Amino acid sequence: MTTLKVNGREHQVDAEADTPLLHVLRDDLKLNAAKYGCGLGQCGSCTVIVDGKAVLSCVVPMVLLEGKQVTTLEGLGTIAEPAPIQRAFMEEQAAQCGYCIPGMMMRAQALLQKNSKPTDEQIRAELEPHLCRCGTHMRILRAVHRAARLMDTADALPAANGSAR
């Protein structure tokens, strides 16, 4: 049994040390947002936040997570009470099939936590590890800009370090 802190809660997880975080999140904790896209660190669909940084959960084994805080999209907000980044993606209708979107949102969230006013160029550079096949890129960029504006409105700050819910 390993202890894993996800979205502010501690979980006892029965997974071997080499199990990638992605499978623990999906299989043991029944969380949906982090997606399996390639398992090779090439597409970004599995991105979550660990200690404030965006990481590819498909290539991060449990052994690296001791004492660290994991935040997934579920930890940011809900349909009823969406976090700014979630509101922004809803308001911009920034999805087609939407499969890649949670990963994009987590990387954007990590960016906005350390840089509340990123330039368009910075957002593009940050999202470089992420693939979208539907071609929703223009909306994704708009949504990240919108999220930056929403976060800027003082109290809108979300559970930055995974303490939501």
Partner 1 sequence: MNAPLILDRRRMLAGGGALIVSFSLGSALAQQQDAPAASAPSPPGSLKTSPYLDAWIRIDANGVEVFTGKAELGQGFKTAFQQIAADELDIAFESLKVTTADTRLTANEGYTAGSNSMKDSGTAIQNAAAQVRALLIAEAARRLDQPEANLRTENGAVIAPDGKRLPYGELVAGEMLHVQAQPTSKLKDPATFKVIGRPVPRVDIPAKVTGGEAYVQDMRLPGMLHARVVRPPSYGAQLTECDTAAVEKLPGVVKVVRDGNFLAVVAEKEFQSIKAMNALAAAAKWKETASLPKQDDLLNVLTSLPSQDTTIFERSNPAVTGQKTIEATYTRPYQAHGSIGPSCAVAQLIDGAMTVWTHTQGVFPDRQGIAEMLRMPPARVRLIHVEGSGCYGHNGADDAAADAAVIARALPGRPVRVHWTREQEHAWEPFGPAMVTKLKASLDGNGRIADWNFDVWSNTHSMRPGGAGSMLAAQHMAQPFAVPAPRPLPLPEGGGDRNAIPFYNFPNARVVHHFISAMPLRISAMRALGAYHNVFSIESFIDELAILAGADPVEFRLKHLDDQRGRDVIEKAAHAFGWKSDQKPPPDRGYGFAFARYKNLAAYCAVASEVEVNRETGRPRLIRAAAAVDSGQVVNPDGLINQIEGAIVQSMSWTLYESVTFDDTRITSIDWQTYPILRFNSVPESIEVHIIDRRGQPFLGSGETGQGPAAASIANAIANATGKRLRNLPLTRKRIKEAIDA
Partner 2 sequence: MRASTRIIAGIVAAVLIAAAVAAFAIAWRPAIAAIDPPDPQSFDTALVKRGRDLAAIGNCSDCHTPRGAKNFAGGLPVPTPFGTIFSTNITPDPETGIGRWSEAAFRRAMRSGVNREGQHLYPTFPYDHFTNVSDEDDRALYAFLMTRQPVRAAARENQLSFPFDQRLAIAGWKLLFLRPDAYRPDPKQSAEWNRGAYLVEGLAHCGACHTPRNALGAERVSARFAGGDVDDWHAYAINDQSRSPVPWTADALFTYLREGWHPDHGTARGPMAKVVSNLSSVPASDVRAIAVYTASVSGTPTSGRTGPSDDALARAKMASQTNPVGASIYTAACASCHEGGRPLPYGGVDLGLSTSISSPDPRNLANVVLSGIDAVEGERSPIMPGFAASMNDDQASALLNYLRARFSDQPAWADLKKTIADARRTQAVFLQTSPAPRNAPADPQQREKP
Applying CB under 8 A, which residues contact partner 2? Answer: 17-20, 39-42, 50, 53-56, 59-64, 125, 128-129
Which residue blocks in 1-154 are alpha helix, DSSP H? 21-23, 84-91, 101-114, 120-126, 137-152
Residues 119-158 that bind partner 1 (CB under 8 A): 124-125, 127-128, 130-139, 141
The residue among 22, 38, 46, 165 whose CA lies nearest residue 102 is 46
Q: Which is nearer to partner 1, 17 or 152 (CB)?
A: 17
Report how far Cα 78 is from the mean position of its chain's Cα atoms. Answer: 14
Residue 43 within binding range of partner 1, rule CB under 8 A: yes
Q: How far is the CB of 79 from partner 2 (least distance, A)?
A: 29
Q: How far is the CB of 13 from partner 2 (least distance, A)?
A: 15
Q: How far is the CB of 146 from partner 2 (least distance, A)?
A: 25
The residue among 140, 50, 165, 147 whose CA lies nearest residue 156 is 147
Burial class (CB in 10 A: 0-12, 13-18, 19+), 123: buried
Number of residues located near partner 1, criterion CB under 8 A = 55
Q: How far is the CB of 138 from partner 1 (least distance, A)?
A: 5
Q: Can you tell me the distance from the alpha carbon of 11 to that of 63, in angstroms, rounded to the nearest whole number?
A: 15
Which residue's structure tokens are 């029965």? 14
Q: In the set 51, 59, 68, 96, which binds partner 1 (CB under 8 A)?
A: 96
Of how many residues is the chain composed? 165
Residue 72 interacts with which of partner 1, partner 2, none, CB < 5 to 8 Å by class: partner 1
